[in-house]
Structure 1
Amino acid sequence: MLLKKETSISFQIRDGRTLLDIAVKANHYAVVRTLLEKGADVKGRFQNQSIKSHLTAQNELPLAVASRLGFASIVECLLDFGANVNEKGLPCLPNSVGFRADCPVLAIAAYMGHYEVVDRLLSRKADINATDGSCRTPLSLAARKGHGRIVQLLLQQDADTELSDSKDGGTPLAFAAACGHHQVVGLLLEKGANIEAKDFESKAVIFHAIHARSSESLRLLLNWGADTNVALSGETPLFYAIRHTNVEAVDLLVRYGARISMKNKFGELPLQYARDQLAHPTNGFNVESHQLHRTKCEEIIRRLESATVEHNQHLGMATKPTLKSRAQKTLVQLIKR
Structure 2
Amino acid sequence: MHVFKRWLIRICTATLGLSCGQAHAFLPEAPIAFARVGNTADLTASLQRQPALLTDVDIYNHSLMDIAIEQGQTEIVELLLSKGADPNRRTWKGQTPLHVAAYFSKPQIIKILVNHGARLDIAMPLVEEKTESLDGFYPIHLACISEYGHDVLRLLTELGADLNQKRLGYGQSPLEIAIRYGPVEAIQRLIALVSQSRQHALEVNMNRIRQAAIESSDPKRMQIIEMWLAAKSDQRPN
TM-score normalised by structure 1 residue count: 0.52
Q: Please say if residues 24 and 58 of structure 2, whose CA atoms lie closer than 8 Å, have aligned partners that are also in contact.
A: no
3-state DSSP of counterpart to 1:206: helix
Partner residue in 2 for 1:151: 77
Q: Which of 159, 166, 191 matches 1:231?
A: 166
**Higher RCO (CA 8 Å, separation ≥ 6 residues):** 2
CA distance in 2, matches of 1:185, 1:295: 31
1:306 deviates by 2.7
1:123-182, CA deviations, whole angstroms, 9 ceiling, x for partnerless residues? Answer: 44533222234432211221122211211222223311111212x221111111111222
Q: Which of 80, 86, 90 matches 1:160?
A: 86
Partner residue in 1 for 2:94: 169
CA distance 1:215–1:134, change in 2 (3 Å): closer
Q: Please say if residues 131 and 137 of structure 1, whose CA atoms lie closer than 8 Å, have aligned partners that are also in contact.
A: yes
3-state DSSP of counterpart to 2:137: coil
Q: Please say if residues 165 and 171 of structure 1, whose CA atoms lie closer than 8 Å, have aligned partners that are also in contact.
A: yes
**Where does the alignment leave 5 or more consecutive residues of structure 2 unmatched?**
1-17, 126-134
Partner residue in 1 for 2:27: 103
Partner residue in 1 for 2:11: none
1:102 deviates by 1.1
Q: Please say if residues 247 and 296 of structure 1, whose CA atoms lie closer than 8 Å, have aligned partners that are also in contact.
A: no
Q: Which of 109, 134, 140 matches 1:206?
A: 140
Partner residue in 2 for 1:189: 114
Partner residue in 1 for 2:203: 259
1:206 deviates by 0.7
1:280-328, CA deviations, whole angstroms, 9 ceiling, x for partnerless residues? Answer: 653xxxxxxxxxx534543343334333444x23xx6xxxxxxxxxxxx
3-state DSSP of counterpart to 1:215: coil
Q: Please say if residues 164 and 203 of structure 2, whose CA atoms lie closer than 8 Å, have aligned partners that are also in contact.
A: yes
Q: Please say if residues 144 and 172 of structure 1, whose CA atoms lie closer than 8 Å, have aligned partners that are also in contact.
A: no
CA distance in 2, matches of 1:174, 1:110: 18
3-state DSSP of counterpart to 2:61: coil
CA distance in 2, matches of 1:218, 1:179: 12
Q: Please say if residues 135 and 164 of structure 1, whose CA atoms lie closer than 8 Å, have aligned partners that are also in contact.
A: no
Q: Please say if residues 137 and 163 of structure 1, whose CA atoms lie closer than 8 Å, have aligned partners that are also in contact.
A: no
Pair 1:141-2:67 in alignment: yes
**Where does the alignment leave 5 or more consecutive residues of structure 1 unmatched?**
1-91, 283-292, 317-337
CA distance 1:100–1:294, change in 2 (3 Å): closer
Query: Alignment length, in residue pairs?
Result: 200
CA distance 1:131–1:100, change in 2 (3 Å): closer
CA distance 1:281–1:94, change in 2 (3 Å): closer
Partner residue in 1 for 2:151: 216
CA distance in 2, matches of 1:281, 1:242: 7
CA distance 1:159–1:253, change in 2 (3 Å): farther
Higher Cα Rg: structure 1 or 2? 1
